[in-house]
Structures are given as C-alpha cells and as structure tokens.
Structure 1
Amino acid sequence: MDARRQSIRAYLRRWTESAGAQLLVVDPADDESGLAEAMAGHGVHVTWVGDTLDGLVEFGRIDPHAVVVAPDAPGIAAGDFVTRIRRHGSPYVIASSDGLGDGARGQSDAIGPLMLAGASAVVLRPYAAQQVWDLMTHAPRSVADHATLEVGPIELDATAFTVRVGGERIADLPLKEFELLRALMLASPGVVTDEELREAIWGASERRPGGNTIAMHVTRLRARLGDVAVVRRIRGRGYSLTVDSA
C-alpha cells in the first residue's frame, strides 16, 4: 500500500508540473504544512520561493494562476512586489497572515500594503490546502480546466483517477495504464516518444524498462478503450492516440 501511495504521489507531481494550474508562493518560511503535496491532489503545481526577487523571476517563468505573498518576505517590499506583478496581467494575489492573535494590529498593518497594491484575499499560515484551493477557484483564470483532460468522448480526471467514455465511468485503470493514457491524451493527436512515455509512467528516478513493457501496457489500454480510440505505434517514433471525429 505504501509503495502504491508513493507511486501515486510521484505521478501527481509529474502531472501537475506538466499540465497543472500554477501557484507561486513567496514566503521565507518552509512548507511545514505540506501544501505542495496536498495541492497536487487538486491538480495544482506549487513553486515556493523565499524572497520577492526570486518571486519576480518565477512569476515571469511560470505565469501562475495565483500568487501567495508573505508580508515579511525579504527582497523588495511585498507591496511593491504585488504592484510589479500586477503590471503584467491580473494575477490573483493572496496575502498570507499569521492569524488574528495578540499581534492582530501588527498583522493588519503588514497586510495593508498588499491589499492596497491589489491583493484580493488573505490566507492563514500554516497554509491549509483546502482553503488555498477555495480561494483559487475565485481567480479570474479558471483552474478547473487543469483537473481534467478531454479528447473526443474520453474524459480523464487526474485528481480522482477516473476515466469516463461518453459520460460513463469505466473500470478503474491500473496506475501505469492511467499514466499512459494521460500522456497520450496530452499529446493527442501528436506522437509521444518511447522516452517520453518512460518518463511519464516511471519517472526519472526509477528503473525504466524497455519498449516491450510499454507495448504490453499499450495492448492492455487498447483492450480497455475498445473502439472509442485508436492507439497507433509509429515505428521509430512512438505512439499516438486519435479518436473518430465524426
């Protein structure tokens, strides 16, 4: 069971990095609450940096759906950071707070410049994934599109590990076949190379098998999908998934 759980966690990390919504956290504290791993379950990839200067770099690199900013992040002032990133679009900015205890007045004074600069909400430290997710659902850019993939009649939900065909849920796929289908759907109708499939299914750190093992999983996936899709082997290149457009 532990091995399967670890495999699922590794899969979620790979999936969110390649296809998930993006959340940038600018906070000098460590991710003690496990936000990054928990958000992967919502199809959100978390990039965590410790200061606002690195935050500017990562903001330009990943174009996040939302940004969480701690008022005490070093570098340029957090309010100035928010002003700068809002010049490049309209990111959904969330100010972080340590709560409303004895230092409530100080917290309010620290958050104030972020709200004036354009922050739209406040989240408490340590960050709770469900609270962050609830806030992200109000962002101008939808995050729902990153929870599912659709190719023709096939719909794959990477957070619930379910596959529906024509609206009907099919029997749960084994994890390797689920990852294989996900990789093919992301590229459809293009070709996914054998090396890309090894990376998608087994990751970079695990021992990765040869083409015969991939072919075995493809054969099983074809049987599960039946005639709703065609998984073709392109000799010397890889595999592609196509559906009838009629």
Structure 2
Amino acid sequence: MRILVVEDDDRVARGLVTALTAASFDVQRAATAERALNAPPADVVLLDLGLPDADGIDLLRRLRERPQTAIIAVTARGEERERVRGLRAGADDYVVKPFGVAELLARIDAVLRRTRAARAETPDAEPSVRLGALTLDPTTREARVNGLPTQLTRKEFDLLALLVQRAPAVVGRDHILDQVWGAAWEASSRTLDTHVASLRAKLGDAVRFRTVRGVGYVLDRG
C-alpha cells in the first residue's frame, strides 16, 4: 500500500516516513506542491495544508481529481471553518497537529476500508442513476445536470449518491454521517449542512434538497 507524505517540515516528514514504514507502508515524501503533483500515484495522500509554494486547499482540489486516491489533510489548522474548507475541497479525513501515530494509523485504516468498500460496491459498467435532470455515473463518479458535467468533491458525490439511492425516502442525519464520513471522522451536523448547501448551489433546480426538521434530508425531483 503506497502512501505519499506531502510535508515541507523535514523533522515532521522524517517522523511520518519512519512511523509509516515501520507499519509496512510503501512511503514517499514530497516537500512541495509541485513534487506532490508529479509523484507516482498513491493509495493515500497525507497532505499538509501549509506548504510554501502553493495554497494547500488548491493543491487538495487538484489531487482530488485522482478519484482512486484517498486524501487525509494533516495540518495545524484546527478551527472548524478550516476543517469544513478542507472537507468541502475533497479531503476524506482531517487530522490536526499534534497527533499520535496510533490515531493517524487508525484513520488511514478507516479511509482505506471505506475506499475498498466503495470500489467493491461499484462494479465495472454499473448503470447510471437518474433523478429528474440529474444523472449520476457511479463508475466514473461523474454528475451531470441536463447533460452537462458538474464538478463535485468526493464527499459531495457520496452524499448525493446516497440521497438519490434512497429517494423519495427521508435519510436520517446520523445515517448520512455514518455512511458518508464514517465513524473515524467526528463529523458534525454543521459539516453535513455545509455540504448540502454546496450541493444546492452547484445543482440549482435540478433536484431539491428538502430538510425534514429533526430527522434528515430527502431529495425531490426538480
């Protein structure tokens, strides 16, 4: 299993590489955004958001274009608004410095389990799903509105796919948080609401996200 450590601090990077290598991972390190983008494909990227040569969120979005790679933001930015920014940009998890090696390894394992499960549940040539003007392709993880592609983050796609799959049933908030974020990430209701707001802005009138107060969300045809 290959892990790419994107970290400009040599001391922190050495510690991560040593710990991950001891845990039997194949580890590479990139000290800059440019090197991260040119590195060989990895199963997991540990991404420091405070790099010297690029904005970490911009780099996260670019790395997110590789759908088979899981991304864990590893950063000193612990405020909720920063965590929400990272999640909206496509991070699969968010670890705030300082952190313990055991916690990091547990989060890596959890992200890999979710990634494997998603791949197992998405066989080759799985048919697209339609709801009104919206079309979702589980194989390519592409969303289209009236035939035009719409760029979604990994979490936005997973959230939308879950609601489409369950429509017209109401999906509970706890179930959404468990299915989309998993137990390893302590996602808050505000995180979920932020992702729904982002989907509403991106999808417009194609679908309607109706809030069922005290319960969760349901999708209506646009």
| Alignment TM-score, normalising by the size of structure 1 | 0.43
Larger Rg: 1
| Alignment TM-score, normalising by the size of structure 2 | 0.48
